[in-house]
Structure 1
Amino acid sequence: MKLTAGIFIAIAVITGCKKQQETTPFVPITPVVAPPVNTADTALTYLALGDSYTIGQSVPAMQSFPFQLTAQLNNNNYRTANPKIIAQTGWTTADLKRAIADSAITKKYSFVTLLIGVNNQFQNGDTTIYRNDFDELVNTSIKYAKGNLKHVFVLSIPDWSVTPYAASSGRNLATIKTQINRFNSINERESKRLGVNYLNITDISRLAANNQNLLANDGLHPSGLMYLMWVKLLLPQVVLGLKQ
């Protein structure tokens, strides 16, 4: 699916979602997602941590939310380099922790996003272990964001119970939703306790129940159009955070 063909649908659909707080400055979304640049004159650097939702499984890399966010920042005159992504399909919090340690990154970044937990839920993982791992990952994110809490942005876990893949999986859809809510209650509470930004994109993910254009061809992961809807909410939050 071409992203530009669906952008007006995205703008129309998202008006039904929860509005950003009134204190968040409006940043217009340019209706053309231009490829970001990675040149010596870029001022901002970006580290994206996560799983399949961060790498953009089943869509072109440029349609993943980290690349779309970078492109929109550039379109709004925030010169930003291509994102550094540490993410892989199937990763749990434990997998992400190991991957970060293995990467041995010493560089610090202007801002960091973190989206992790769906595979903990998929594997019926223990919520206490998730909470402990999540706290560690948030603190790691803060370290990579030069210690600035306001430059760390946590996204909630999407709800895959509304997807065709879930319907054909033989698993109880209501149970999936309940578990997703439970894991999200943990990451929201812990994000607020630790003082970092939090964004609920789960409500957007549930719109896929009635709009298949929001899903990739695999019937499970978001399409570029859904990722754009996430970015529409995330961009003003990032812009505000970078000013702090």
Structure 2
Amino acid sequence: MKWIWSIFILMAACSAKNATTVEPDNLITGKYRYLSLGDSYTIGESVAPEERWSMILSDMLRKNGVDLSDPEIIAQTGWTTAELTDGIKSRNPKGPYNLVSLLIGVNNQYRGQSLERYRTELQGLLKQAIGFAGGNNERVFMLSTPDWGVTPFAKGSDQAKIASEIDAFNQVAQEECAKLEIAFVDITPLSRTAKNDISQIANDGLHFSGKMYRQWAERALPTVQKLLR
């Protein structure tokens, strides 16, 4: 169990450094507003602000003619669904937003929390996301949780078990999105390609690099373009 405590210590240390208030300089503003909710993968732990997947996605959409602002990000390394809920309450974002994204679940998995708890708390977050989108579920999308078991930090751990649990959490997320007719973008297979490509891993050996985040944005782009029509 030593590796579990190690990852917890690392994530807790990173949380203090990369909090919800961290934003890049010279944010681009546009006609349409974007709210991005999540954890370390959304705040972009160990990468530059412009390498965050939601920042890359915003830039891609602008290049395709969408007058979209850079995302307002509510995320922090180490957050579970419950902690994201608390973070949203603390931040108190003011909608409506034209686009809302959600990426959450990895910390529920690594802390050993139950699928039932994740389902219940995720239901609340998805309903909040729809509320932030002015009640329009067609302006909300969720990314699947990536597989951190392929990273160097997970070396020596039961990677097959991690993958199986990640898949189970993603199944729950996909089911809950389907119930609310929320678009679900599966980026987990992309994350697993990093097992044989160190350039897709951040310098901390645990999180993903900007190269990987760009692939997530590219995967999400066609879905999001449809949502914004």
Q: TM-score normalised to the size of structure 2? A: 0.87
The one-letter code sitting in structure 1 at the alignment partner of 2:201 is L
Give 3-state SS (helix, strand or coil) of 1:113's partner: strand
C-alpha deviation, 1:79, in angstroms: 1.2
C-alpha deviation, 1:36, in angstroms: 8.4
Q: d(CA) in 2 for partners of 1:193 and 1:81?
A: 29
Structure 2 unpaired stretches of 5+ = 1-24
Give the number of aligned pairs. 205
Alignment of 1:27-42 (within 5 A): 38-39=28-29, 42=30
Q: d(CA) in 1 for partners of 2:93 and 2:219?
A: 29
Q: d(CA) in 1 for partners of 2:88 and 2:106?
A: 18
Matched, 1:227 2:213: yes
Q: d(CA) in 2 for partners of 1:175 and 1:147?
A: 38
1:144-166 alpha-carbon deviations (Å, 9 max, x no partner): 01111111010000001111001
C-alpha deviation, 1:107, in angstroms: 2.4
Q: Which residue of 2 aligns with 1:63?
A: 51
Alignment of 1:3-14 (within 5 A): none
Q: d(CA) in 2 for partners of 1:109 and 1:36?
A: 20
List structure 1 runs of 4+ shifted beyond 3 angstroms. none
Give 3-state SS (helix, strand or coil) of 1:47's partner: strand
Q: Which residue of 2 aligns with 1:128?
A: 116
Q: d(CA) in 1 for partners of 2:140 and 2:129?
A: 7
Q: For the Cα contact (< 8 Å) 2:138–2:227, is it kept in 1?
A: yes
Q: d(CA) in 1 for partners of 2:92 and 2:217?
A: 29
Structure 1 unpaired stretches of 5+ = 1-34
Match of residue 133, structure 2, among 128, 132, 145: 145
Matched, 1:199 2:221: no
Q: d(CA) in 1 for partners of 2:164 and 2:129?
A: 27
With over 3 angstroms needed to count, the CA separation of the structure-2 counterparts of 1:36 and 1:71, relative to structure 1, is farther
Q: Which residue of 1 aligns with 2:96?
A: 108
Matched, 1:173 2:159: yes
The one-letter code sitting in structure 1 at the alignment partner of 2:163 is K
Task: State, as a whole percentage, how many aligned pairs show the same letter.
Answer: 42
C-alpha deviation, 1:171, in angstroms: 2.9
Q: d(CA) in 1 for partners of 2:114 and 2:41?
A: 21
Q: d(CA) in 1 for partners of 2:163 and 2:28?
A: 39
Q: TM-score normalised to the size of structure 1? A: 0.81
Root-mean-square deviation over aligned CA pairs: 1.3
1:4-36 alpha-carbon deviations (Å, 9 max, x no partner): xxxxxxxxxxxxxxxxxxxxxxxxxxxxxxx98
Q: For the Cα contact (< 8 Å) 2:95–2:134, is it kept in 1?
A: no
